[in-house]
Amino acid sequence: MGRFTIIIVVGFTILMGILKLTQGRLIGRGQELTADRFTEVVARNVTTSAVNVCLYELGQNYDWRGGYDELEIMGGTVDAVIEDSSDDASIEAGQVRITATSEYLGESASAVILMRKTPYSEFAYFTDIEPVIYFITGDTLRGPIHTNGQFHIMGNPVFFGLVSSVASTWAGWGSPKFKAGTYFGCPSINLPTSLTNLEAAAQSGGIRFAGETNLQFMSNGTFNWEVFHYSGSPAVKVVDSTGNTALSSINGVIATDNAKDLHIKGTISGKATVMSEGNLWIDDDVLYLHDPLTDPNASDMLGLISQQNVIVTDNTANRTNCTIHASIMALNTSFKVQNYNTGSPRGTLTVLGGIVQDLRGAVGTMSGGVIVTGYLKKYIYDQRMLTKAPPFYPVFSRNSIVSWYE
């Protein structure tokens, strides 16, 4: 019995010794892990701090490309390189890439950030002046939404993007759902007063027509164009010139000058921004060859910009629905429907993209929740606009982060 007890005691003593040895090793390893984790966190913080310094500099001057070489922060060093499309063709025009790499006590960390001047195409809906037209129960909007006026709401519409307004609150009644929050009482975001950059792009690398123009996109990546004018009394259409141009042969900008109108329709394969110094007329459906709602790799993209109005034409083609795939901007008045308050219902006006306008325009009339004239609305935000934009699309002063990888 005594011998058995001694064996147990000795065994227990050995076991406790092993446990203590293991505990000591674990404590030592834990201290090593803690120290390693600490240096890793500091290295990452050094990188983040350098990125924030670069973001500040670019906020002050978007053309700044200085970067940093062995900048000392928090006891570590960091290199930061600023690049754009002139340095790397894989960077989209208008975007800037920040690459920051730090070192702290042998630990390194890096981050790659893409940023851009925020294009107006990022908005799903934007108005400078918001008349007393209500968002109502059944309305569903996705993407960023802003007005320099005051939103009017009746019932329970649903907003899936950030809703911002210069006004301190919305007017009306109901229980709207703001899924991504609100920013009421925010600073005004001014529409551009000139489009000199876009006009310059049309003249240098793009295409610019001197007269009223018909434009039809073709699914083979080209567009047909016809420049014309009216002469005599009664007025007779006179064709001045015609042609077919490949989108790939220009920088993507198509424009009219001399305050001339532009009429558009067709299916686009590629990327373009179309600008009219006069009104821009939608004469039939304007579609992407590859629909981003069904094709995750779709790259077709279109901007439609008018220095006057963007108008859905009242014609035979548009009297049974009208679909527009584009980011739309009407600088001086509205995106609207011609003769919206006359005739019979025309079905549904579908917009895949976004609408930016000076003054919210009317597209139809309703009575008792039923369309009487014009169109029902079906506005779908193109989520790609959060990180991409049509060629040379106008931007405003705010910078935005496209991506941040560490």
**186 and 237: one domain?**
yes
Is residue 173 very low, low, confident or very high in pLDDT (cuts 50, 70, 90)? very high
In a domain, 1, yes or no: no
Is residue 304 very low, low, confident or very high in pLDDT (cuts 50, 70, 90)? very high
Q: What is the mean pLDDT of the chain?
A: 89
The predicted model gives 325-346 an average pLDDT of 96
Query: Residue 390 and residue 253: Cα distance in Å, rounded?
Result: 9
Query: Residue 37 and residue 351: Cα distance in Å, rounded?
Result: 50
In a domain, 111, yes or no: no
pLDDT at 366 over 70: yes
CA 392 remoteness from chain centre: 13
User: 345 preceded by cis ω (within 30°)?
Assistant: no
Domain count, the chain: 2
**307 and 377: one domain?**
yes
- The values of phi and psi at residue 311, to 5°, are -125, 130
Per-residue burial over 225-253, b = 16 or more CB atoms within 10 Å of its CB, e = otherwise? bbbbeeeeeeeeeeeeeeeeeebeebbbb
pLDDT at 20: 53
In a domain, 311, yes or no: yes
pLDDT at 7 over 70: no
pLDDT at 110 over 60: yes
Boundaries of domain holding 39: 31-105
**150 and 211: one domain?**
yes
If one compares 291 and 38, the residue with the highest pLDDT of the two is: 291
CA 347 remoteness from chain centre: 28
In a domain, 10, yes or no: no
Given 76, 105, 134, the domain boundary residue is 105
**Count of CA atoms in the C-beta half-sphere (13 A) of 293:** 10
- The values of phi and psi at residue 258, to 5°, are 55, 35
In a domain, 21, yes or no: no
Given 105, 130, 153, the domain boundary residue is 105
* pLDDT tens sequence across 24-36: 554 454 455 476 7
Q: Which of 137, 110, 146, 95 is nearest to 399 (CA)?
A: 95
* pLDDT tens sequence across 212-246: 999 999 999 999 999 999 999 988 999 999 999 99
As given in the structure block, the two tokens for residue 140 are 């569903």
pLDDT at 220: 98
**Lowest-confidence pick of 37-41, 47-51, 207-211, 279-283:** 37-41
pLDDT at 186: 95
* pLDDT tens sequence across 255-298: 998 889 999 999 999 999 999 999 999 999 999 999 999 999 99
Cβ-proximal residues to 157 (8 Å cutoff; 6+ apart), any chain = 135, 136, 137, 138, 139, 140, 141, 174, 176, 177
Query: Residue 329 and residue 343: Cα distance in Å, rounded?
Result: 27
Per-residue burial over 41-70, b = 16 or more CB atoms within 10 Å of its CB, e = otherwise? ebbbbbbbbbbebbbebbeeebeeeebbee
Given 105, 140, 163, the domain boundary residue is 105
In a domain, 8, yes or no: no
**231 and 352: one domain?**
yes
Query: Residue 34 and residue 31: Cα distance in Å, rounded?
Result: 5
In a domain, 97, yes or no: yes
Cβ-proximal residues to 41 (8 Å cutoff; 6+ apart), any chain = none
Q: Which of 161, 79, 75 is nearest to 123 (CA)?
A: 161
**158 and 39: one domain?**
no
pLDDT at 8 over 50: no
Rounded to two decimals, the pTM is: 0.84
In a domain, 17, yes or no: no
pLDDT at 71: 92
pLDDT at 54: 92
pLDDT at 5 over 60: no
pLDDT at 228: 94
pLDDT at 149 over 90: yes
pLDDT at 25: 53
**187 and 307: one domain?**
yes
